[in-house]
């Protein structure tokens, strides 16, 4: 007979541990991949823009396929889906170590690992949310903090592995590390009710249909305010991920050695963690009228910090700029989904998140290769970071055009929630999409 587990039980903290490991081995690897980027450019003798597509594809597939991971989790449970995702993520990195053409990296890291990461992230996040009611925010914060802590460790570790074993050997080690996604998935014990402890098949099928119905909220495409909000984040994503691939390479060109360059990215990751905490606290103090005002502030500051990166010459200056970027970019994260309720109304947030997540993957797909192409034609990363900053500033400008932006009252559309009731938190958990985190 299955063991009974309930919300707020002690086993929930084991689920938090699993979520911590999983965010560490997904986003920590993505954020630290700039170390391998330098090695790929040197080995394959390809342009910067060509190599940039490998990581860009991985991030885009992660975003685009996230609703699929949520739907599969709703039907089959988080444990088998995350296990399958961990195997795919590890397999992609394993195959990447045998690459003889750059196109092999696109397939292995971009498609296989990217899809595996999508199957890991959303179901594991949903499991953490599902296990907690009283301390859900704390549990979610602890789970997603794995991304920041692992980024601090992985950047210098990956550089050490590349120096010791070459990039192929280093990818083999990272592939083996990713198998811990499978081990941690075993901790995602499904919740059971008060009955015989067996899952209710009819209820699961009902949840499956409910999840599928909410995956593609196409009716939101007729809402101008939602389209503008999505367009803003397509532009934001076009610049947001550029440092993940190119900040290490830029630091190397500015005279930093391998470990100094890796440390800059690690410092940005630590600042990212503090930025998320600070932004959440500041939003709770209601310094500005609405969440979207806080979101605009952090988007502008992130864009400015990226545009200032070319002014950093030498290790000290680049560390300072990396800390600024990390703090501001981290502060932006928890407000993106929370602000969406002000745009479409609480009753439409569920479908809006999934649709927005897929559409904004276009920005993540295009931004990094464009940055690499600018480096190829100019000979340095100045134009790349200026353009990345401009994308975020353009996104913040679009936020200013939202209806009733300069009013302290929420848009009239969102007032419908007083009639329809609070948002369906259980549906959020089914989708694996937390209400306040982007990672």
Query: For 97-106, 114-123, 319-328, 356-365, which range has the lowest pLDDT when averaged over its residues?
Result: 356-365
CATH of the domain at 51: 1.20.1250.20
Distance CA 192, CA 213 (A): 24
Question: Tens of pLDDT along 88-134?
Answer: 999 999 999 999 999 999 999 999 999 999 899 878 877 776 777 66
Same domain, 350 and 267: yes
In the three-class reduction of DSSP (H, G, I as helix; E, B as strand; rest coil), residue 406 is classed as: coil
14 is written with which tokens?
């084991």
Question: Tens of pLDDT along 331-353?
Answer: 887 677 667 767 877 566 555 66
The helix-helix angle for 34-44 and 242-253 (nearest 10°) equals 70
pTM: 0.69
Same domain, 125 and 234: no
Phi/psi of residue 402, nearest 5 degrees: -65, 145
Same domain, 27 and 167: yes
Supply the pLDDT for residue 421. 41
- Asked if residues 399 and 340 have their Cβ atoms less than 8 Å apart, the reply is no
- Candidates 173, 181, 161; CA nearest to 258 is 161
Distance CA 401, CA 309 (A): 28
Q: How confident is the model at residue 141 (pLDDT cuts 50, 70, 90)?
A: low
- Asked if residues 252 and 162 have their Cβ atoms less than 8 Å apart, the reply is no
Q: How confident is the model at residue 359 (pLDDT cuts 50, 70, 90)?
A: confident
Query: For 81-95, 133-147, 219-233, 245-259, which range has the lowest pLDDT when averaged over its residues?
Result: 133-147
Same domain, 205 and 224: no
Q: Please report, for residues 15, 172, 367, the alpha-carbon distance to residue 90 in angstroms, rounded to integers and kept in the order given.
A: 21, 9, 25
- Candidates 107, 65, 108; CA nearest to 90 is 108
Distance CA 198, CA 344 (A): 37
Query: What is the four-CA torsion angle of 408, 409, 413, 415, rounded to 10 degrees?
Result: 140
- What is the average per-residue pLDDT within 403-414? 66
DSSP string, 192-212: --SSSSS--HHHHHHHHHHHH
127 is written with which tokens?
């499991």
How many alpha carbons fall within 13 Å on the CB side of residue 128? 31
In the block, tokens 């460790």 appear at 153
Please give the residue that has the higher pLDDT: either 138 or 219: 219
- Asked if residues 47 and 379 have their Cβ atoms less than 8 Å apart, the reply is no
Beta strands in 6-119 (DSSP E): none
The runs of H, that is alpha helices, within 308-401 are 315-344, 349-359, 361-378, 382-400
- What is the average per-residue pLDDT within 138-152? 72
Same domain, 41 and 165: yes
What distance lies between CA 313 and its chain's CA centroid? 29
Same domain, 188 and 318: no
Q: In this structure, what DSSP letter does residue 438 have?
A: -
pLDDT at 149 over 90: no
Q: How confident is the model at residue 48 (pLDDT cuts 50, 70, 90)?
A: confident
Question: Tens of pLDDT along 205-215?
Answer: 665 565 555 55
Q: Which residues contact 112 (CB under 8 A, 6 or more apart)?
A: 88, 89, 91, 92, 95
Q: Please report, for residues 27, 142, 210, 338, the alpha-carbon distance to residue 148 in angstroms, rounded to integers and kept in the order given.
A: 8, 11, 34, 21
Q: Please report, for residues 64, 74, 215, 355, the alpha-carbon distance to residue 209 in angstroms, rounded to integers and kept in the order given.
A: 20, 9, 10, 17
The residue count of the chain comes to 439
Same domain, 280 and 352: yes
Rg (CA), the chain: 21
Print the domain residue range for 362: 216-407
- Candidates 395, 187, 205, 190; CA nearest to 303 is 395
* Tally of structural domains, the chain: 2
**426 is a domain residue:** no
Same domain, 160 and 227: no
Same domain, 163 and 252: no
CB atoms inside a 10 Å sphere around CB 100: 8
Q: In this structure, what DSSP letter does residue 219 have?
A: G
Instruction: Please say which residue of 214, 245, 264 terminates a domain.
Output: 214
- Candidates 374, 366, 262, 263; CA nearest to 310 is 374
Please give the residue that has the higher pLDDT: either 219 or 252: 252
Same domain, 66 and 148: yes
Supply the pLDDT for residue 217. 62
Same domain, 136 and 237: no
In the three-class reduction of DSSP (H, G, I as helix; E, B as strand; rest coil), residue 148 is classed as: helix
Question: Tens of pLDDT along 430-439?
Answer: 333 343 334 5
How many alpha carbons fall within 13 Å on the CB side of residue 295? 29
Same domain, 109 and 125: yes
């Amino acid at each position: 007979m299955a063991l009974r587990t309930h919300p707020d039980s002690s086993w929930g903290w084991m689920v938090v541990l699993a979520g911590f490991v999983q965010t560490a081995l997904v986003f920590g690897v993505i954020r630290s991949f700039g170390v391998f980027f330098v090695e790929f450019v040197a080995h394959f003798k390809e342009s910067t823009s060509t190599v940039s597509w490998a990581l860009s594809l991985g991030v885009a597939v992660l975003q685009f396929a996230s609703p699929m991971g949520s739907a599969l989790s709703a039907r089959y449970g988080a444990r088998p889906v995350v296990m399958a995702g961990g195997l795919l993520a590890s397999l992609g990195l394993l195959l990447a170590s045998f690459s003889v053409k750059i196109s092999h990296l696109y397939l292995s890291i971009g498609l296989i690992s990217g899809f595996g990461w999508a199957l890991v992230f959303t179901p594991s996040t949903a499991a953490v949310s599902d296990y907690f009611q009283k301390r859900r925010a704390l549990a979610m914060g602890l789970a997603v903090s794995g991304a920041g802590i692992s980024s601090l460790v992985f950047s210098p570790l990956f550089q050490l592995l590349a120096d010791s074993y070459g990039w192929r050997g280093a990818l083999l080690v990272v592939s083996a590390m990713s198998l811990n996604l499978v081990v941690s998935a075993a901790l995602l014990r499904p919740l059971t009710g008060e009955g015989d402890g067996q899952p209710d098949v009819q209820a699961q099928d009902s949840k499956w249909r409910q999840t599928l119905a909410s995956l593609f909220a196409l009716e939101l495409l007729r809402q101008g305010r939602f389209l503008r909000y999505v367009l803003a984040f397509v532009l934001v994503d076009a610049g947001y991920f550029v440092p993940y691939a190119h900040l290490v390479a830029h630091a190397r060109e500015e005279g930093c050695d391998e470990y100094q360059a890796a440390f800059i990215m690690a410092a940005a990751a630590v600042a990212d963690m503090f930025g998320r905490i600070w932004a959440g606290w500041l939003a709770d103090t209601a310094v500005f009228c609405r969440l979207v005002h806080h979101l605009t502030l952090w988007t502008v500051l992130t864009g400015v910090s990226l545009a200032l990166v070319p002014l950093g010459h030498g290790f000290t200056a680049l560390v300072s700029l990396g800390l600024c970027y990390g703090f501001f970019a981290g502060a932006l994260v928890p407000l993106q989904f929370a602000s969406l309720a002000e745009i479409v109304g609480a009753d439409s947030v569920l479908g809006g998140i999934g649709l927005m997540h897929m559409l904004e993957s276009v920005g993540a797909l295009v931004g990094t290769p464009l940055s690499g192409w600018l480096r190829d034609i100019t000979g340095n990363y100045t134009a790349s970071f200026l353009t990345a900053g401009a994308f975020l500033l353009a996104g913040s400008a679009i936020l200013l055009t939202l209806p009733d932006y300069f009013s302290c009252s929420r848009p009239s559309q969102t007032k419908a929630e007083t009639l329809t009731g609070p948002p369906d938190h259980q549906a959020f958990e089914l989708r694996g999409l937390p209400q306040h985190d982007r990672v």
